[in-house]
Amino acid sequence: MLKGILAISGQSGLYKMVAEAKNNIIVESLDTGKRMPVYSSSKVSSLEDIAIFTDEGDVSLKEIFKAIHDREAGGNCISHKSSSGELKAYFAEVLPQYDRDRVYVSDIKKVVMWYGILQKKEMLDFTEDDKNEKSSED
């Protein structure tokens, strides 16, 4: 689900990788659909590789998106433009054990914003996770 979805430092929103060249990649904005080159000097992170610090270790972004999805019954979550207090309280409900010293409000805003973008584009698909849970229960 998160494979090929990228966050680019200095750019807002999320991008989908379209093609690779020798010294850059071509990405397409999920918001506008515009394509642009991203060079090797840019800091690019795949959502698949991002995790949030917790008291027990790290939790992958996919697991956090699933928790938000379950909490909201597949609907929209809180706005990333909400106040710091509201964002912290919301995130504490979604991931109670998150490390409050190492996870900043800016990180929470990004997670909430990314969830909103993916949810709006109907790119959140947890059906494979549900199948894996059911097969492990049997």
Q: For the beta carbon of residue 83, count every other beta carbon within 10 angstroms.
A: 10
Could you state, in order of their start, the residue ranges of all structural domains in the chain?
5-47, 51-130
- Percent of the chain at pLDDT exceeding 90: 65
User: What is the per-residue pLDDT across 47-88, written as a single tens digit (0 to 9) for each?
Assistant: 999 999 999 999 999 999 999 999 988 888 899 999 999 999
Q: Does domain 51-130 have CATH number 1.10.10.1650?
A: yes
Q: Is it the case that residue 138 has pLDDT exceeding 60? A: no
Instruction: Name the CATH topology of 5-47.
Output: SH3 type barrels. (2.30.30)
pLDDT reported for residue 128: 64
Q: In whole angstroms, what separates CA 35 from the centre of its chain?
A: 20
Taking the model in full, what pTM does it have? 0.85
| Cα–Cα–Cα angle for 60, 12, 28, rounded to 5 degrees | 85
